Amino acid sequence: MVYKKITLIGTSTDGFDDAVADAINRAEHTLDNVLWVEVEELGVEVATANPREYQAELTVAFELEG
């Protein structure tokens, strides 16, 4: 088996949990064979975002076909 990892950043104005869910949901809808997700970093945009924008950087691993 061969796996590929990519980085996604989910966002939400409601909190970190929703930002993580945003990225995971997008990965599951656009990639096949998603196997695991690692939350790498959390951050909040406060300078230019009103309301605050919660951000979650995730590494998504999925199995390549073939």
Q: Which domains does the chain have, with CATH numbers?
A: 3-63 (3.30.1660.10)
Q: What is the mean pLDDT of residues 15-43?
A: 96
Q: Which of 52, 59, 17, 20 is nearest to 37 (CA)?
A: 59
Position 49 pLDDT exceeds 80: no
Q: What angle do CA 53, 54, 60 make, to 5 degrees?
A: 130
Amino acid at residue number 53: E
Q: What are phi and psi of 60, to 5 degrees?
A: -110, 130
Q: Go through the chain and tell me how many residues it has.
A: 66
What token pair was written down for 18?
């929703």
Tell me the C-alpha distance between 23 and 17, whole Å. Answer: 10
Position 44 pLDDT exceeds 90: yes
Position 50 pLDDT exceeds 90: no
